[in-house]
Amino acid sequence: MIRLGLYGFGSIARILARLALRRGFEIVGAVDIDPRIVGKDVGELATGEKIGVAVSNDPTSLVDADIVIHATASYLDKVFPQIATLIDMGLNVISTCETLSYPFYRYPTLARRLDEMARSRGVTVLGTGINPGFLLDTLVIALSSTVDEVQRVVAARYVDAAKRRESFRKKVGIGRPTSEVEDELRRGVITGHVGYAESALLVAEALGLSPTKVVEEQHAVAAENDIESSGVRVPKGACRGISGFGAVYVGDKEVVRVEFHALVGAEERDEISIEAKESGKLVWRSSGTQGDVGTASVVLSLVEKVLEARPGLVTMVDLIPFRPFSSYRVG
């Protein structure tokens, strides 16, 4: 039985704990700084049934884990000390930190340090989730492997922000004055979505590209009319959510583009379009993916793979077998 530790025990981690217990994992510890839950039973918080393991504020309580699932924040510079502590304890780590999914873009120095630390301790570190980690990168790579020669990829995800947890709705500014949300996105007061560039660069790496430019943008979207969805109301003119994209260029050609749209009342769907030299155009579309459960499911599905992986900092490109071919591949 694989022994799991949980670093961060917020909403995502509680879903993880619930699914992990159902899948037969043993949870040996959970860490959080929230005084309201420290000392409470992990199982009771996640499922309503006690398992005899209490939430602690001491990371050393995770020492008996085979692997720790880390879920605290989105930016690697903020969580680096937490992950470094786990590595020092000789623990494998899967993190939902979005910028850790491809840390070489924003944090090349920290990425190199994490890789060196993990190699020296003989453990593996991976950043992943539903997005970045699967829908707009790993799935795109897998689908791209079915065509002869990729010329361009566009992947987009649309979610009804009203159906997401409150903390998500806050970080995309639902119902607030659009100009205020736009200003706070620009200043980093709220994050919106994190990971556009990371997803695009994961795809680019799998395609063997040498990007000459990476572009990433997002903006607040004003409601054109009064909107209501799942009990959330947004008046005309107020912020309905955010839209953004990340793109990788080779020369003046946009080869990879990923988009994320989190809007109250949006028709939920995931769509991937792949233009190929001989195969023509391949379009894949789903009816949407539940983000929080999806993140937990992706992470748990990778536990054994990470335990078997080489020591060091790895990405999803290192773990999946597919290497599609691109017209713009270098070397």
Look at residue 140 in the predicted model and tell me its pLDDT: 98
How much is the mean pLDDT over the chain?
A: 97
221-248, pLDDT tens digit by residue?
999 999 999 999 999 999 999 999 999 9
86: number of CA atoms within 13 Å, CB side?
Answer: 30
Q: Is residue 95 in a domain?
A: yes
What does the block give as tokens for 99?
């910028």
Distance CA 171, CA 315 (A): 26
What does each C-alpha distance from 4 to 30, 67, 92, 176, 303 come to in angstroms? 9, 5, 10, 39, 9
Look at residue 329 in the predicted model and tell me its pLDDT: 84
Residues 6+ apart with CB under 8 A from 96: 12, 69, 70, 71, 127, 128, 129, 295, 299
Judge whether 310 and 29 are in contact, CB under 8 Å.
Answer: no
Residues 6+ apart with CB under 8 A from 258: 136, 137, 140, 154, 155, 156, 196, 199, 200, 203, 245, 246, 247
Judge whether 243 and 266 are in contact, CB under 8 Å.
Answer: no
Share of the chain above pLDDT 70, in %: 99
80-116, pLDDT tens digit by residue?
999 999 999 999 999 999 999 999 999 999 999 999 9
Q: Is residue 101 in a domain?
A: yes
Largest CA distance in the chain: 60
Query: Looking at the 3D structure of the chain, how many domains does it have?
Result: 2
186-232, pLDDT tens digit by residue?
999 999 999 999 999 999 999 999 999 999 999 999 999 999 999 99
Q: Is residue 326 in a domain?
A: no
- Look at residues 128, 145, 148, 149 and name the one whose alpha carbon lies nearest to residue 69: 128
The enclosing domain of 257 has a CATH number of 3.30.360
Q: Is residue 303 in a domain?
A: yes
62 CA to centre of own chain: 23
61-80, pLDDT tens digit by residue?
999 999 999 999 999 999 99
Q: Is 206 helix (H, G, I), strand (E, B) or coil?
A: helix
Residues 6+ apart with CB under 8 A from 85: 59
pLDDT at 331 over 70: no
Q: Is residue 187 in a domain?
A: yes
Domain that holds residue 113: 3-129+297-319
Whether residue 81 sits in one domain with residue 147? no
The band of 175, judged by pLDDT with boundaries at 50, 70 and 90, is: very high
Mean pLDDT of all residues in 1-16: 97
Whether residue 256 sits in one domain with residue 216? yes
The enclosing domain of 302 has a CATH number of 3.40.50.720
Identify residue 65 by its one-letter amino acid code. A
Mean pLDDT of all residues in 24-40: 98
- Look at residues 197, 219, 312, 326 and name the one whose alpha carbon lies nearest to residue 263: 219
Judge whether 30 and 9 are in contact, CB under 8 Å.
Answer: yes
pLDDT at 262 over 70: yes
DSSP 2-58: PEEEEE--SHHHHHHHHHHHHTTPEEEEEE---TTTTTSBHHHHHHSS--S-BEES-
Distance CA 69, CA 128 (A): 10
Whether residue 279 sits in one domain with residue 311? no
Residue 267, classified by CB atoms within 10 Å of its CB into exposed (0-12), middle (13-18) or buried (19+), is exposed
Look at residue 237 in the predicted model and tell me its pLDDT: 97
Look at residue 170 in the predicted model and tell me its pLDDT: 95
